[in-house]
Amino acid sequence: MRKPVDPAGRTAVVTGVASGIGRALALKAARLGMAVAGCDRDAAGLDALRAHLDSMGAAHELRIADVSNPDDMVDLAKAVGAMPPVALLFANAGLLRKGAVLDLPLQDWQALISVNLFGVVNTLQAFVPAMIAHGLPAQVIVTGSTGSMVTAPGLAAYCATKHALWPMVEALREELEQTQVGASLLMPGAVATAIFASTDPNRARPADSMDPEELADMAFAGALADTAKILTHPAYADRARARFDAVLDEISLH
């Protein structure tokens, strides 16, 4: 039987750590007495986070790396091997591109798949075997989205990559059942980050959006409770139920 995760004195690994949700997760980990390791492609953001973690007295290993490059993730995992054992692995790095299915350029489809899907695979394969080998209670948290269960015009490519994480994390959770490592799918709704900046820079903040710090609190609570799916906006459950019911109607034999 898996024991509860005690994060104090252990390491939290966060991809996409330089801003938004990733930064909030890193700072939450540091406040809990954890060492912090992570990566991003944003050098300035990493520098700012280093300074903040230094001011908190938190040990850290932050480096420029691309989650879509498996060698980068293996190198980061090797560096983290010198730190306290990993208790929480946040496979969080992600991209968003908007565009209709027929209009979104192929390179945008490829970028989304490389980061949002293959980036998670690379992260899991680089870190989870060592987490299992330590034999200590630990948790993997993959950042999906409410787009893991619903979709919308203009966001099909993004939602497709986030949908793919649902079966991945469900299967991983079963595959880890005999270990001390659990797995959770984090499904945020609107969060006040810059993820839309590259495609919709003038987008107003949605009325139901939350701050990254609130999201981090929910993510940690769910992770430490080994919650299978951590949904930040409960209203989406009704949308998902309506969608699933419609799908069942579509495939029912008459």
Share of the chain above pLDDT 90, in %: 82
Among 8-12, 202-206, 225-229, 245-249, which stretch is predicted with the lowest mean pLDDT?
A: 202-206
Answering whether pTM is above 0.95, one says no
pLDDT digits (tens, 9 = 90+) for 83-107: 999 999 999 999 999 999 999 999 9
Look at residues 85, 177, 180 and name the one whose alpha carbon lies nearest to residue 135: 180
pLDDT digits (tens, 9 = 90+) for 151-182: 889 999 999 999 999 999 999 999 999 999 99
Domain ranges for the chain, please list them: 11-251
Share of the chain above pLDDT 70, in %: 94
Among 10-14, 129-133, 175-179, 208-212, which stretch is predicted with the lowest mean pLDDT?
A: 208-212
Q: How many CB atoms lie within 10 A of CB 3?
A: 8
pLDDT digits (tens, 9 = 90+) for 23-38: 999 999 999 999 999 9
pLDDT digits (tens, 9 = 90+) for 210-239: 999 999 999 999 999 999 999 998 888 898
**Helical pair 212-224 and 20-31, crossing angle rounded to 10 deg:** 60
Listed in sequence order, the DSSP H helices in the chain are 20-31, 43-56, 70-80, 106-112, 119-134, 156-175, 212-224, 235-251
pLDDT at 65 over 70: yes
CA triplet 140, 187, 91: central angle to 5 degrees?
35
Yes or no: domain 11-251 corresponds to CATH 3.40.50.720 = yes
Predicted confidence band of residue 204 (pLDDT cuts 50, 70, 90)? low
Predicted confidence band of residue 198 (pLDDT cuts 50, 70, 90)? low
pLDDT for the residue numbered 201:
65
pLDDT for the residue numbered 229:
97
Question: Which has more confidence, 61 or 247?
Answer: 61
As separate numbers, helices (DSSP H) first and strands (DSSP E) second, the chain gives 8, 7
